[in-house]
Amino acid sequence: MSTTSEVTAMSDVPQGREVGVAILGHGTVGSEVRRLMEANAEAFSHRIGGPLALRGVAVSNPTKHSRTLPKELLFDDAMELIAREDVDIVVEVIGGIEYPRKLVLAALNAGKSVVTANKALVAAHADELADAAEAAGVDLYFEAAVAAAIPVVGMLRRSLAGDQIERISGIVNGTTNFILDAMDETGASYDDMLAEATRLGYAEADPTADVEGHDAASKAAIMASLAFHTRVKASDVYCEGITKITAQDIEAAKNAGYTIKLLAICERIRSAAGEDSVSARVHPTLVRRDHPLASVNGSYNAVFVEAEAAGRLMFYGNGAGGNPTASAVLGDLVGAARNKVHGGRAPGESTYANLPLADFGQVPTRYHIDMHVRDRVGVLAEVAAVCAKNGISLRTVRQEERDDAARLILLTHEASEESLDATVTELATLDDVLTVDTVIRMAE
Amino acid sequence: MSTTSEVTAMSDVPQGREVGVAILGHGTVGSEVRRLMEANAEAFSHRIGGPLALRGVAVSNPTKHSRTLPKELLFDDAMELIAREDVDIVVEVIGGIEYPRKLVLAALNAGKSVVTANKALVAAHADELADAAEAAGVDLYFEAAVAAAIPVVGMLRRSLAGDQIERISGIVNGTTNFILDAMDETGASYDDMLAEATRLGYAEADPTADVEGHDAASKAAIMASLAFHTRVKASDVYCEGITKITAQDIEAAKNAGYTIKLLAICERIRSAAGEDSVSARVHPTLVRRDHPLASVNGSYNAVFVEAEAAGRLMFYGNGAGGNPTASAVLGDLVGAARNKVHGGRAPGESTYANLPLADFGQVPTRYHIDMHVRDRVGVLAEVAAVCAKNGISLRTVRQEERDDAARLILLTHEASEESLDATVTELATLDDVLTVDTVIRMAE
């Protein structure tokens, strides 16, 4: 009798080949990946066409994990685990660059597909990793590297594969969005809201990578590479963080109907001669309050895409955290495992377009310039003349009286970074200009 | 000399096998698909690994299209075009159900992959089509069937394949969202705003499929099938349109901090005994003004997903129109063509979970009940007693004085449809209740 019921039970779950998985790292993400792999084993088995089998978890200190994992699954030598014959897919969730790079390359070279959540690694070494995956005929997946479970990579690699992307504007760092949103809401200073973010666990003890924009720059590099079929590395991305944003900047933006967001902007720039180049940049940006990105609050992420045929699309969600990152890793793992069972490969790196990178000085943007000037007749004419001379035309000018000085806020039409730099330098030399306080770029 | 340059030019573009494409239909979507295939031929060739070659376009009246298409590409016999040996992929953008069903089945049975934008067809016959695709070992793609270029299908099939979806709440019909949004903004009646939608081209001459919710129901069926790995057909979806929504309903919602949206809701319902079932329904729904879905304006679409690990995600964009639909069709076409060149198959139908459909009477929801009662002491007690007797507990009650009668607005806690029906029937029999004007369900 028991034989019959066993046969029935077994025939319910696909009898395809077992897919061996190694997880490198057992921190917040790695432990969630392992837990969910176990909890959803049957569902994944159906979705893949065969069961996932965890071969081991590589950790630097096995003793630390001996209570959550059986001893035979714990490996202190990641290379030994990767090299096992029964490992088909390696999941890298360690972080850092050099060490995981060595491991991922070893895995790819040994014919294992790789799923990684490591944006810094992908943004620095996509070319080398892609070449290794291509040579071995295996998959390299990295959905979790950009905005966790918001499926930005899948959308760019697959869903929009039949379209031409013009621009991506993303809020892809939760820490800085939390700080800017809190400054906007409370009128408090950057330092106070950074302290608040740290207290609430939204900022790390050393927040440099977030607040200086490096984390967002890695994601910008990955998005630009996918969107424009061109190799863009983190070091190619112009990057400016939020540490200089003041409460006064936020207030001035508010008064003009804007909010300040740290945007990762990836853009196709078409020259007058019809030649395309790619600009990837991260900087504080004024966003109109009625733009969908303006209402992305707290630590949420959102990616706004403009494409030729699809028009304007936005993707919104949790862009970080153990669970959302694990969701993205597991989605990739199911995809990579399906390919191991059924054959076929995910779209690989695509860099055929190989567009030149735009010279940042030539990128056209609109600017918001905030300055203090002497309160006397003729100042505005002087300022306007300097702008005109440098090819910057003004869209609106607002003047506020302040004791003996006046505050002048200029919003410009589109101009190049070069013209702007020249303008600001020249404005600062005018006798009647006391200080040029802030220059912030504007979206669209 | 010319030989050299030809060789160089050719070596730039992948020399993989040509993938033959047949397009069935040359309306708004079909003609955009054809135009963009041509305009982006080189890019697609790189992304696929070989060129797409248009073998023909099937139209009912070839003469009508003889100015836009060369004669040799025009076919009045779709079956003849499908049957051609050099056709690998068939794109169906005709609309309707029975005729395209015959064509799509013929294509699949002949071993051609199919890309369709036809939600009514997929929602009615997914099982039969999936079986045919499976038997022939080919792909069936239908991203454009749900919300055009918003990649809902890809997200459910792939990106969230490692997660467990709990609920989807979608604004998936632009016509009804335009009408409701315009009613909300202007305070005008349904009839006036339907007329406005028709005038502006947002509503068709016969708007039935949109305003009665049938179009949204097809999309709900497709989303529920993908999300819960269960076969759900359009006819399984509870469906209620927006034709009975009055200016007074909109105003009452506004006063309570809500807006009314036509939502397609796909939900996993867990019984007290821990058993899952699937509910798919379309009805006007009160959405809190601070919910991301509330700010989806005009004819835009948005799909809000709640998943176990990913948390809350939202996808937003143009859900209809020739261009966005063509973008989705072409994304699928590039995917299907890649598989023809490189081998491999897209994830097929996945119905392993095979969950039962929830009995609509048992689905728990919160309700907004708007009624007129006699303005005298004791009415509220009577009404509350009827609710309590039927197991409905009240969250808030608001009473407005109106000449001789009073208006009573109840917001309930969660209760089943059955309890609600019983309550409303009994309330209507009370002497002091003059009319039960509206019952609207609430999101979350």
Same domain flag for B136 and B231 = no
Among B283, B317, B351, the domain boundary falls at: B317
User: Mean pLDDT, to the nearest integer, of A408-421?
Assistant: 94
Same domain flag for B234 and B260 = yes
Whichever domain contains B141, its CATH number is 3.40.50.720
- Indicate which of A163, A171, A351 best probes the interface with B, i.e. most B CBs within 10 Å of its own CB: A163
Strands (E), B183-247: 238-239
From the list A64, A71, A219, A233, the catalytic residue is A219
pLDDT digits (tens, 9 = 90+) for A56-82: 999 998 889 988 899 999 999 999 999
Same domain flag for A167 and A287 = yes
Q: Which domain holds residue B92?
A: 19-148+323-342
> Does residue A106 fall inside a structural domain?
yes
The whole-angstrom distance between B159's CA and the closest CA on chain A is 5
Rounded to 5 degrees, what angle do the CA atoms A374, A377, A378 make? Answer: 90
Question: Does B396 belong to an annotated binding site?
Answer: no
A340 catalytic residue (yes or no)? no
- Provide the pLDDT for residue B7: 38
The whole-angstrom distance between A35's CA and the closest CA on chain B is 11
User: Mean pLDDT, to the nearest integer, of B163-173?
Assistant: 98
- Provide the pLDDT for residue A272: 86
The whole-angstrom distance between B192's CA and the closest CA on chain A is 27
pLDDT digits (tens, 9 = 90+) for A215-236: 999 999 999 999 999 999 999 9
Whichever domain contains B396, its CATH number is 3.30.70.260
Q: Please, what is the average pLDDT of chain A?
A: 93
Q: Which residues of B touch A345 (CB under 8 A)?
A: 342, 344
> Does residue A347 fall inside a structural domain?
no
Tell me if B150 and A313 make a contact (CB, 8 A cut-off). Answer: yes
Inter-CA distances, A55 with A52, A72, A81, A91, Å: 9, 9, 8, 11
* Residue B72: both structure tokens together: 């040799």
pLDDT digits (tens, 9 = 90+) for A34-63: 999 999 999 999 999 999 999 999 999 888
> Does residue B351 fall inside a structural domain?
no
- Provide the pLDDT for residue A4: 38
> Does residue B51 fall inside a structural domain?
yes
Least CA distance to B331: which residue of chain A? A162
- Indicate which of B115, B158, B325 best probes the interface with A, i.e. most A CBs within 10 Å of its own CB: B158
Same domain flag for A269 and A331 = no
> Does residue A8 fall inside a structural domain?
no
Tell me if B309 and A330 make a contact (CB, 8 A cut-off). Answer: yes
> Does residue A30 fall inside a structural domain?
yes
- Provide the pLDDT for residue A2: 39
Instruction: Evaluate if residue B6 carries a pLDDT over 70.
Output: no
Of B161, B324, B339, the CB nearest to A335: B161
Number of domains in chain B: 3
* Residue A412: both structure tokens together: 């410009």
Tell me if A155 and B151 make a contact (CB, 8 A cut-off). Answer: yes
User: B333 at the A interface (CB within 8 A)?
Assistant: yes
pLDDT digits (tens, 9 = 90+) for B71-106: 999 999 999 999 999 999 999 999 999 999 999 999
Cβ-Cβ contacts under 8 Å between A and B: the total is 206
Tokens 């760019």: give the residue: A156
> Does residue A401 fall inside a structural domain?
yes
Q: Which residues of B touch A347 (CB under 8 A)?
A: 47, 338
pLDDT digits (tens, 9 = 90+) for B263-275: 999 999 998 898 9
Pick the more confident residue, A66 or A87.
A87
Cβ-based neighbours of A231, under 8 Å, separated by 6 or more: A126, A127, A225, A351, A354
Tokens 């999300």: give the residue: B227
Same domain flag for B174 and B303 = yes
pTM of structure? 0.94
| List of long-range contacts for A421-428, beta carbons under 8 Å, 24+ apart | A421/A361, A422/A390, A423/A386, A423/A387, A423/A390, A423/A392, A424/A369, A426/A386, A426/A389, A426/A390, A427/A369, A427/A371, A427/A383, A427/A386
Of A47, A158, A324, the CB nearest to B350: A47
pLDDT digits (tens, 9 = 90+) for A350-371: 999 999 999 999 899 999 999 9
Question: Does B26 belong to an annotated binding site?
Answer: yes
> Does residue B1 fall inside a structural domain?
no
ipTM of the complex: 0.93
Same domain flag for B333 and B304 = no
Whichever domain contains B235, its CATH number is 3.30.360.10
From the list B219, B233, B261, B340, the catalytic residue is B219
Same domain flag for B168 and B303 = yes
- Provide the pLDDT for residue A376: 85
Q: Which residues of A touch B293 (CB under 8 A)?
A: none
- Provide the pLDDT for residue B259: 96
The whole-angstrom distance between A371's CA and the closest CA on chain B is 35
Same domain flag for B177 and B299 = yes
Tell me if A343 and B343 make a contact (CB, 8 A cut-off). Answer: yes
Question: Does B29 belong to an annotated binding site?
Answer: yes
pLDDT digits (tens, 9 = 90+) for B205-229: 999 999 999 999 999 999 999 999 9
Instruction: Evaluate if residue A10 carries a pLDDT over 80.
Output: no
- Among A residues 46-65, those touching chain B with beta carbons less than 8 Å apart: 46-47
- Provide the pLDDT for residue A327: 97
Same domain flag for A389 and A333 = no
- Provide the pLDDT for residue B12: 65
pLDDT digits (tens, 9 = 90+) for B346-379: 998 899 999 999 999 989 999 999 999 998 888 9
Same domain flag for B165 and B137 = no
Tell me if B312 and A317 make a contact (CB, 8 A cut-off). Answer: yes
Least CA distance to B322: which residue of chain A? A309
Which residues are bridge partners to A283 per DSSP? A263
Evaluate whether A130 touches A123 at the Cβ level (below 8 Å): no
Question: Does A28 belong to an annotated binding site?
Answer: yes
User: Mean pLDDT, to the nearest integer, of A8-36?
Assistant: 84
pLDDT digits (tens, 9 = 90+) for A105-123: 999 999 999 999 999 999 9
- Among B residues 210-249, those touching chain A with beta carbons less than 8 Å apart: 229
Same domain flag for B288 and B337 = no
d(CA B57, CA B82) in angstroms, rounded, equals 10
- Among A residues 367-396, those touching chain B with beta carbons less than 8 Å apart: none
Inter-CA distances, B172 with B41, B135, B216, B296, B299, Å: 31, 32, 6, 11, 9
Same domain flag for B89 and B142 = yes
- Among A residues 152-211, those touching chain B with beta carbons less than 8 Å apart: 154-155, 158-164
Instruction: Evaluate if residue B130 carries a pLDDT over 90.
Output: yes
Evaluate whether B404 touches B376 at the Cβ level (below 8 Å): no
